[in-house]
Amino acid sequence: MAAVSRRSIPAFLQKRLLTWYRRHRRRLPWRDDPQPYRVWVSELMLQQTQVKTVLPYFERFMNRFPSVKALAAASEQDVLGAWSGLGYYRRARSLHQAAQSIVEEKGGRLPETLEEWMALPGVGRYTAGAILSIAYGKRVPILDGNVARVLSRLFLLRGDPRSASTRKTLWRAAADSLPNRSVSDFNQALMELGALVCTPRQPKCLLCPLRHSCQARRRGLQEELPELAPRQASLAVVLTAAVVRRRGKVLLYQRQEEELLQGLWELPGGTCRMDEEPRSALAREVRENYGLRLEPGEQVARVKHNIMNRRITLHAFNARLRGRAGMEKKPRVWIEPEKVRDYPVSSMTLKVLRQVARRVPPSCPRE
């Protein structure tokens, strides 16, 4: 069969892709019940986050905030608490702000046009298109990383999909490829194909319903496309943190407005200087940044965490609170470890507390 020559998916391939999708698609809660609010929440959660990670968060979030009005009525701390551990908290703040705007300005009626959706915080062209096509069945294209990869290979499109010119070409190909019917399934099929078959590395070409028409496969270039520019080199960062206990509770502090991840609660700690031993750095950091005098004890956790271009290693120590070294500079709270998910807690703090919980019995200094 000849490869497609035009940058649009012909009707016979559309039908083949839809048949494949209906047989092999994953059962996902926002697909089983594709109401606009649910699709919107799922799309924001799925940004830079894997489906398997999102699933439990989505269910908890829907139970806690079952409608846009319920979300708008919640406090930011409650919303961040429900998002706790999912990362990229700007998404949660944007979702909350958008919900409040919808309730205040539209009486809770969700938008129904591309322009209305894109006017909301945190909603770009892709997210708006996904909501309109999946939830409303409107004939609107989508272009996420999975779709861009499928189209780049199918049509042998050169160039970095993140560049303006290549992205414009891809958007046009996505729009020209839309069927007249079943747009919801078709757009989800493109995303699902990229997620399950047309993967970034070692694509499963023999399982692909489009394989006979894929120009990249015909030329043996499927693993060379899309032509992504090299990512920024990652930076290794070493952090240190203190686990301070009092009567079964753990001490957490809240990040302030001028800081990254503002509003989240975390263990007191900081950054190790070059060639500085983590235990020594901990005593210095909490004295300078929290106004506390701590006596670090044994190391109880070591976690890895990546955020943006930073590769973080965090060393956590049991510690005894010895007094103050000045005025405390941040809000603090004592939390029972089993209730920590009720607060908006940073992902690294959650990882540390999980490791600490597995240490039985705890051997630590207490306040």
Apex 93 CA angle, 337 and 57, nearest 5: 50
Transcribe 297-318 into DSSP letters: EEEEEEEEEEETTEEEEEEEEE
**CA distance linking residue 256 with residue 330, whole number of Å:** 7
Q: Which tokens sit at 78?
A: 């409650």
CA dist list (Å): 310 to 116, 224, 232, 236, 238: 35, 26, 10, 6, 10
3-state secondary structure of 236: strand
Work out the angle between the directed axes of helices 76-83 and 51-64 (0-180°, nearest 10).
Answer: 150
Q: Are 58 and 41 in contact (CB under 8 A)?
A: yes
Query: In the block, which residue shows the tokens 């290794």?
Result: 236
Buried-state track 114-153, b at ≥16 Cβ within 10 A, e below 16: bebbeebebbebbbbbbbbbbbbeeebbbbbbbbbbbbbb
Active site residue 43: yes
Within a 10 A sphere around the Cβ of 280, how many other Cβ atoms? 13
Contact 75, 84 (CB under 8 A): no
- DSSP secondary structure string, 261-278? TTT-EE-SEEEPPTT--H
Element (H, E) at 245: strand 245-246
CB atoms within 10 A of CB 302: 13
Say which residue the tokens 């959650």 belong to.
350
As a dihedral over the C-alpha atoms of residue 123, residue 129, residue 134, residue 135, rounded to 10 degrees, the angle is: 60
Omega before residue 226 within 30° of 0, cis: yes
Q: In which residue are the tokens 């940044």 written? A: 289
Active-site annotation, residues = 43
